[in-house]
Amino acid sequence: MIPVRLAVVAAAATLATALPAAPSPAAAPPDPGLPGLLRTGGAEWPEGAFRALCRRGPVAAPDRRVLPLPDGRSVTAHATKVSRDREGTLLWSGRLAGRSDRPVTLAVDGACGKGRPKVAGEIHEGRVRHALDAVRPGVSRVRSFDTVRQTPLVRDALRLARPARPAAPPSRRAEPKDPVIDVLIGYTPETAAETEGGADALALQAKAAVEGTNQAYADSEVKARLNLLGTFETPSWSGAAGDMDGMTNALANPEDPRYSDDWAASVRATRDEKGADLVHVLSKFTPPEGEYTAGTGMTPSLPRLIPGENAKYSTDDTGFGAQQADTFGTHHLAHEIGHNFGLNHDYLTDPIDPDEDNYRPGNHNPYYPDNHGFLPKDRTWVDIMGYNMSCADEDKCENKMWFSNPRQEYDGAPRGVALGSKEPADSTRVMNLTGPVLANYRTPGGSTDPKRHALTAVPQDGTGGTVSAPSTGLFATGDQVTVTAAPETGYTIDRWTVDGKVQPTRAASLSVTMDSDHYVTVKFVRSGAPLSPIPAALTAVSPDTGSVKGGFTVTLTGGGLTGTTQVLAGTPTAGGFRGVAATNVRVVDDTKVTFTAPAYPQAGPVQFATARGGSLTASIGFTYTG
C-alpha cells in the first residue's frame, strides 16, 4: 500500500480580488507562510446568535444566516440540515443562497447556553474557501484561501501495489447498506501549542470538517456517514512535522522497523481502544518553498477492500492519513478519506493507459474500474477527487464539494461516467460498496445504534414537480432537515402537508425536526389555478416597533393570509383577544398583508393579530413606544 499525497505549491497568492474585511477585527494582509492565503479577518458572534435554533418547533422555515467575510462583504446561506452532537455542539450545514454547488458548514459550541458562542467552519465560494477558526468565545478568525493554490498542483504518488497477499474469498464482499464509519482525529502536542485556541479550536475544526464531509456524501448520494468519535493528542512525532508520508506510513505499517517508535504505536493503540475505523492526524508546520505535501491518505494494496482481523485478507491497516493543520477542512478530509475508500483521482491525474507519462500501477482497479474523480468536457471544475491542474485553465478552475456520480447532473450534464463506458467515473457507486467495509474495521466499545428516523418527501399526486431532502438514509433525533420543492414549468406550489397536517406556507422549502418518522407531501397545481386554503401564520413584522400615536404602515409576512379581513393590536385574553382595530387592511398576496397601525393607549409589547370572518388566524409580537 502507498500513501496518497495531497501536494500544493507554497507560493504567495497574487489574486487581485479583495477578500473579506470582517466586522472586527479589520482584515489583515495574507501570511506569506501559507499557500493560497489571500486575506485574514475576523467575525464576532453575540450571545444568543444561534439560540433560536435550540427551541424551534417541529416545522419551521429553514434557517437563514448572513455571514461576514474578510473584505467587508457578507454572504447569505440557507440551512439544509441542523443537528446537535452528543456533546451539544450545534452542526449547521447548508448552501449559499441561490448556489446549490457552494456549501457552508458551521460547528458551534455554546449555541444554546449563556455566553458568546465559539464558531468554526467554512464557506465555499467557487475558487475561494473561507475558513472560520474558533479562536475564543464570540470571535472567529476568518481566512480566505485561493483553492487553486491550496489544492493539489502536482500529481501525487497514488500507487495501488499489485496484491501481495492471497486473493480474498468472494463471500467477504460487502453489500451496500447505510454504514457509519467511526473516525478519530489526532494532533501532535506541537500542533495544539501552535494553534490559536489550542486543542478546543482543533476539536471544533474537526467537527466542522466531518460535518462538511457528510454533507458532501449526502450531496453525492453516498450512503455512508462519518461519526467523529473525538479528537486526541498524540505523543510528539519523531520525524519532521511536514513529513506527511512518513506519518501515514508509520501508522499503516506497524511491522516496518522505520516506524516502530512510540508515536505510531500509541496512535494505533488509541484506535484500538476507541474502536475507530479510521484515524487521521494533524500536524502544523511552515511549508517550504516550492512543492510540499499537504496531506496523505493510505490506499489499499489489495484491489478490493476487505474487513476482518486476518491480515491476509484484510485492508484494515489502510485506515490512516495525515494532514497539514492549517489547510485541514472538508476538501482535504473528504479527499484523503476518499483514498481510504479506495478512490483514485481524475483520469488526467491518474491515467490508466500504461503509455501515459504519469501512469502508475494501480491507476486501473479491476474490481472498481470507475473509482475515479470526474472532469466535465469543458474542464472548468473538478470534484473532490480531482486536481485543479486538470482544468483547462487552473486560474479559473472551481472545486465542487461532491463525488463523481453519473446519475446526478450539474448545468444539465452528468457529474460522472457510468460503468461500462470509456473512462468510467462513479465514485458514489464504489463508496457504496466499500463504505460498509470501512465501517466494519472496528466497533467502538459499548456502542449501540442510535435511534434513527425516516423522512419521506414526495409530490402529493406524483406530478407537477419534485420534492427532495438533503440526504439519503435516516436522521438522528433532533435533526432539523430542510425539504425542498421544485415545481415543473407551468406549475406552482399549492400546499405542504407533514404527516397529513396542512402547513401554513407555500414556500419552496420547509424545515422538519426529526423527532419521529415523518411523511411530507407537496401538492403542485397549474399556474393560475385556484389555491387550496392553508392555515395562516406570521413570520415577520416590519417595522417591529412604532409610536403609540399610530398612523404608520405595517407589513406582516407569513403564509395563508388570503382572506384576511381584519388586523387587531392588543393582547390575548382567557376568552380570546382584546385589541384595537387597524385601518386600511390590504391583502397583497397569500404571504403579505399591509395596514395602518392604530393608536394605542400605552407603550409596551403587544400582538398584531390577523382575523378572517370574525375568527383569529395568527399573531406576531410588536412593541409600541412612547
The predicted-structure confidence for 1-58, as pLDDT tens digits, reads as follows 545 544 433 222 222 222 232 333 444 544 556 778 899 999 999 999 999 999 877 8
Residue, of 176 and 416, whose pLDDT is higher? 416
pLDDT of residue 304: 62
pLDDT of residue 167: 37
The span from the CA of 7 to the CA of 152, in Å, is 5
pLDDT of residue 9: 33
Residue 418, CA distances (Å) to 338, 368, 407, 429 in order: 19, 12, 8, 9
Q: Which residues contact 133 (CB under 8 A, 6 or more apart)?
A: 120, 140, 141, 142, 143, 196, 197, 201, 205
pLDDT of residue 18: 26
pLDDT at 424 > cutoff 60: yes
Element (H, E) at 571: strand 566-573
DSSP bridge pairs for 537: 559
pLDDT of residue 475: 87
pLDDT of residue 575: 80
For the stretch 215-273, pLDDT in tens is 999 999 999 999 999 999 999 998 899 888 889 988 988 777 776 678 999 999 999 99
For the stretch 534-545, pLDDT in tens is 999 998 999 999
pLDDT of residue 300: 75
SS3 471: coil
DSSP conformation class of 237: P
pLDDT of residue 363: 84
Q: What is the CA radius of gyration of the chain?
A: 27
pLDDT of residue 146: 87
Report the side by side order of strands in the sheet with 501-502.
474-476, 452-459, 518-526, 491-498, 501-502
pLDDT of residue 599: 97
pLDDT of residue 387: 87
Residue range 537-624 forms a domain whose CATH class is mainly beta
pLDDT at 155 > cutoff 70: no
For the stretch 426-440, pLDDT in tens is 999 999 988 988 988
Nearest to 478 by CA among 111, 218, 205, 226: 111
Residue 447 C-alpha cell reads as 456502542
- Candidate ranges 150-159, 359-368, 401-410; pick with highest mean pLDDT: 401-410
Q: How confident is the model at residue 185 (pLDDT cuts 50, 70, 90)?
A: very high
pLDDT of residue 71: 83
pLDDT at 374 > cutoff 50: yes
Q: Is the dihedral of CA 461, 464, 468, 473 positive or negative?
A: positive
What's the angle, vertex CA 358, arms to CA 357 and CA 362, rounded to 5?
Answer: 125
Mean pLDDT computed over 167-175? 38
pLDDT at 528 > cutoff 50: yes
pLDDT of residue 177: 64
Residue 549, CA distances (Å) to 13, 340, 554, 567 in order: 58, 68, 14, 17
Three-state SS string over 539-556 comes to: EEEECCEEECCCCCEEEE
Beta strands in 55-170 (DSSP E): 59-60, 64-68, 74-84, 90-96, 99-109, 118-125, 128-136, 139-146
The span from the CA of 113 to the CA of 312, in Å, is 51
User: Mean pLDDT lowest for which of 292-301, 389-398, 457-466, 601-610?
Assistant: 292-301
Sorted by where each begins, the domain ranges of the chain are: 37-149, 152-163+179-373+428-439, 452-526, 537-624
pLDDT at 446 > cutoff 70: no
pLDDT of residue 176: 44
Mean pLDDT computed over 452-481? 87
Average pLDDT over the chain reads 86
Q: Which amino acid, 445? A: G
Element (H, E) at 228: strand 225-233
Q: Is the dihedral of CA 228, 229, 233, 237 positive or negative?
A: negative
The span from the CA of 6 to the CA of 442, in Å, is 26
Give CATH for domain 152-163+179-373+428-439.
3.40.390
For the stretch 116-149, pLDDT in tens is 999 999 999 988 999 999 999 999 999 998 877 6
Q: How confident is the model at residue 170 (pLDDT cuts 50, 70, 90)?
A: very low
The span from the CA of 1 to the CA of 315, in Å, is 9
pLDDT of residue 245: 86
Q: Which amino acid, 146? A: D
Tell me the residue length of the chain. Answer: 626
The span from the CA of 211 to the CA of 471, in Å, is 13
Mean pLDDT computed over 293-311? 68
pLDDT at 447 > cutoff 90: no
The span from the CA of 222 to the CA of 215, in Å, is 10
pLDDT of residue 437: 86
pLDDT at 386 > cutoff 80: yes
pTM over 0.95: no
Beta strand 320-324 pairing with 278-283? parallel
For the stretch 564-573, pLDDT in tens is 999 999 999 8
CB-based contact 484:468 (threshold 8 Å):
yes
CB-based contact 616:572 (threshold 8 Å):
no
Q: How confident is the model at residue 356 (pLDDT cuts 50, 70, 90)?
A: confident
215 CB neighbour count, 10 Å cutoff: 25
Q: How confident is the model at residue 462 (pLDDT cuts 50, 70, 90)?
A: confident
pLDDT of residue 254: 73
Residue 35 C-alpha cell reads as 499557500
- Candidate ranges 161-175, 268-282, 298-312; pick with highest mean pLDDT: 268-282
